[in-house]
Amino acid sequence: MNDHSTHIGTLEPQRVYGVLRSSPEGLTATEVTERLLHVGPNRFEVADRFKLLRALVRQFANFFAMLLFVSAIICAIAHRINPEEGMGLLGWALLVVALLNALFSFFQEYRAEKAMEALQRYLPHLVEVLRGGRIVRLSAEEIVPGDVVMLAEGDKVAADLRIVETKDMLIDNAPLTGESAAVRIVARSENKPLAECRNIAYAGCTVVRGTGRGVVFATGLRTRFGRIAHLSQTIRRTASPMEREVSRMIRILTAIACTMGLAFFLYGVSTGKPLWINLVFMMGIIVANVPEGLLPTMTLALVMGSLRMARKQVLVTSLNAVEALGAVHVICTDKTGTLTRNQLSITRMLDPLSGAAISPTREIRLTRLALAASEIRRTGRQILGDPLDVALADHWCSLGQNPPDKLKQQMVRSFAFDVEKRRSGGIFMDNEQPLLVVKGAFEAIRPMLCQVESPKDNPDEAGLADQLTACESTLESMAGSGLRVIAVAYRRLAAAEVDQIRPEEASVAPLEHDLILAGFIGIEDPIRPEVPQAVAKCHRAGVEVLMITGDHPVTALAVAAKAGIVAGHETVHLTGSDLQGLTVDDLAGQIRQGVRVFARTTPEQKMKIVTALKSMDKVVAMTGDGVNDAPALRAADVGIAMGKQGTDVARESAQIILLDDNFASIVNGIEEGRTVFANMKKFTSYVLVSNGPEILPYLLYIVLPVPLALNIIHILAIDLGTDLVPSMGLGQEPADPEVMTRAPRDLGQGLLTTPLILHSYCFLGLFEGIWSLGLFFYVLVDGGWRYGAPLPSDSPLYRSAVGITLATILLMQIGNLIGRRFATRSGLDRGLVTNRLLAAGILIQIIFSWALLYWPPLQRIMGTGPVPFQVYAFAWLGTLALFSVDYGRKMLVKRARKG
């Protein structure tokens, strides 16, 4: 439909069905099939034919890849200068390495993306549609023009709809218009341009309040949202902190490689060495400094971490969110559904004055009144709506009454729950007279009361002030038992008063006065049994837990005590009214003094709490499920949305989605995030250690008249051969038992720190280099070589010396690998066979080190030769020596820390 003088918005609601060839009962299955074939699925994604190609090209844009390509070009130049040195073959080898590295990283990202897409199917965008007179829930992709869609608060509009029925509905059109103010939706016709009509709900926008019904008139790319998506260019996402840290690490290592290579190239030129020798040397220094296998190993670690999180019911929306969760200092959690089961049940209905249970007749009447201020709908036999309203409906049925949806026939108006006012309302006909009902928090209803209802056989003659005091006592007694307490009040209306409320009016405020309190309803939501243990685990890990809820303070404190967030006798808390009077600095001070429970808060006040925590330099994780939680989820360092009860808006605003809405899953995610970061540091350190013995031969070669102990092909065999599987094994190490007993890491602590560089290069790397070069010169001298004498690269003696050097590095990397498993423990106490990749890596190193020396086919490829067995045994001794000196360092550090 175009914006002409006559369009879908100018039609009266009853005419909309005819124009769109639909009916108030919805489409039939045959009509849906025909229209789906004609217009296609309701998808908004613009086909990106070059997405995979761009992802592949991106793998060649990092410093490592570019450095390898430049190195390959230098090798080609050197080959032209001196073809006998075989630099051309090395150039092809470097080119293949760069290609394989890029393809591996591309494959891992592609695999991760496909895995995330598969996991997202657990959380489909479901829509309630009326088909054949029945409400069904189906994927948004399945709706077609003419479908009748039911909308409720928190729903994302799945297609362009002409609204035909509405109750207090507000829609946020910010995704299309940029306007922050929500638009009030009406059902009546409007003689305006289509874009200005208030009876249209556009795809991509969100229902902020109320309910409604609309008929689909555009789907997919035919919607207003779809047309914009079709015209827009692909938006590049900004780099995450982890991506920036990896980029920084790559730049540092590349700078080290290039600086050393260029410096010694110039030194060689100044000392009169041949150009091709200087080129070979420079290439060796560069390749030795670049850990070619590090990037794909990091990608694999994040991919596997995200998949392990998914098995723990934690879905991450991007790979870098895996590590982000591990850095959290504070968790701000909701109560209902996260700490509790969100399985509400009505357990008590009490007289507000006496606190005694009410009679069965009065219980039926109180439930009926509460249902009048509720919003429920039926899908087959299932009742849908707010969990509290569903619990009331279930209780109504348990009392032997008619299905609750039959009560709608007596309804005149309903007013959706107002988050700020903390109450909902409704008007229904009671004995031919309109009756206003308000249900919600007692504090919100108390100022509007004029009377408290008493049993007819026991009237209460006390004044209103005394009655309210008695009510407060009953309320605190119920809340102290951990019950959520709902107050229900009513007032009979005159017909003229009902007429004053216009159909589009969303507020019942003009009628909310002189109410009579009918009773208190106690709702129990049992705490999840695993929550106390999870909270205790957080406390041991130095992660603070704050509970933010809209419930009564006494209820909140009771639940917080059961969860272990506060001590059982603690009463310190802040309410929403307290928060209004505090500045951010004041609030931060209250949190420092130990406030852990926030009651009677609104979703907007979550933002203030997040701001206060971030002003304290805390990394904040915030849970949320509603539309109004979206700003707080975006403001937090890690936004966590509920997968079951959460709205689409909350999910899209979050970085983490809990598939089971369980607080314990957050703690599991934190443990996994810490483990991923710790493992990344482990294999980074492991890989950098081998750089030391790879660089040292080239430094000696350029400054002393000695043979070169390692060729570039040997370095690549280590970095992309024998080191790769052990690195992956370290990336798959299970969580350290102590990982959740330490405080969160300092945000300034990156992957590549000064202590890690010194430990890798100057301690273990230097030790490994000295031991391996010692055996290199031992074999040379024992074979008759003398200092300064030239030695052909194809001589058996040189091949044997090179072979033992490479074999020694491989074997000593086993000691390095075991030592990297723990920062303060030996690494043997966990057992090597518990990590299959680690065991496979060790086996590869052992077999490869033996084959280098004693298997002719590999000798010919690698240019190595055999050595006496006692020399090979001495190489094995290097494994024990490196492991021992590293373990001794750990013990000294551990003793120093204790001291």
Residues recognised as catalytic: 334
Tell me the C-alpha distance between 714 and 734, whole Å.
32
The pair of three-digit structure tokens given for residue 83, joined into one six-digit string:
């073809």
What distances in angstroms separate CA 824 from CA 378, 428, 896, one per listed residue?
A: 59, 70, 12
Residues in the chain, total: 899
Question: β-strands 656-658, 638-642: how paired?
Answer: parallel
10 Å CB burial of residue 327 (0-12, 13-18, 19+) is: buried
* Of 65, 250, 322, 326, nearest in space to 687 by CA: 250
Tell me the C-alpha distance between 201 and 375, whole Å.
21
> DSSP code of 721?
I
Nearest 5°: phi and psi at 32? -65, -45
The pair of three-digit structure tokens given for residue 19, joined into one six-digit string:
């124009």
The pair of three-digit structure tokens given for residue 529, joined into one six-digit string:
């049994």
> What residue type is 619 in one-letter code?
V
What is the per-residue DSSP string for 741-789? Answer: SSPPPPTT--SS-HHHHIIIIIIIIHHHHHHHHHHHHHHHHHTT--TT-
| Bridge partner residues of 161 (DSSP) | 201, 216
Contact 330, 618 (CB under 8 A): yes
* Of 277, 268, 254, nearest in space to 68 by CA: 254
Tell me the C-alpha distance between 230 and 216, whole Å.
20
Is residue 428 left, alpha or beta, with left meaning phi > 0 and alpha meaning psi from -120 to 50?
Answer: beta
Tell me the C-alpha distance between 263 and 252, whole Å.
16
Tell me the C-alpha distance between 515 and 662, whole Å.
39
| Bridge partner residues of 641 (DSSP) | 624, 657
> Helix, strand, or coil here: 131?
strand
| Bridge partner residues of 453 (DSSP) | none
Question: β-strands 330-333, 544-548: how paired?
Answer: parallel
Burial letters 340-360, b for 16+ CB under 10 A, else e: bbbebebbbbbbbbebeebee
Tell me the C-alpha distance between 68 and 788, whole Å.
32
Neighbours of 610 (CB within 10 A): 25
